[in-house]
Amino acid sequence: MAPPPPGKLAGTAKVGDRGQIVIPKDMRDMFGIVPGDTLLLLADVTRGIAVLRNDDFVHLAETVLDAQKDRSDDA
């Protein structure tokens, strides 16, 4: 089997009795996820579950809010 394209991975995870999953190591490494990190889970009934590093989401939100503030300051 050919290796996946750069920046792409696929894997599986079993759900334990307590609803926990283990993120495969290669994926944790790809995204810099380390023990103690907080992850944000977003769910959509038709599209599935997305897992994001909370820090990345906070950075995105701050960037959007700062851009909106700059825009209103220019008006």
Residue-level pLDDT at 40: 92
Q: What pTM value is reported for the model?
A: 0.69
Q: Which two tokens stand for residue 56?
A: 């990345």
Residue-level pLDDT at 16: 96
pLDDT in tens, the chain (75 residues): 788 788 999 889 999 999 999 999 999 999 999 999 999 999 999 999 999 888 888 888 899 998 888 777 776
Residue-level pLDDT at 44: 96
Query: Is residue 58 a contact partner of residue 52, using CB atoms and an 8 Å limit?
Result: no
Alpha carbon distance 4, 15 (integer Å): 25
Alpha carbon distance 21, 15 (integer Å): 5
Residue-level pLDDT at 75: 64
Alpha carbon distance 68, 73 (integer Å): 9
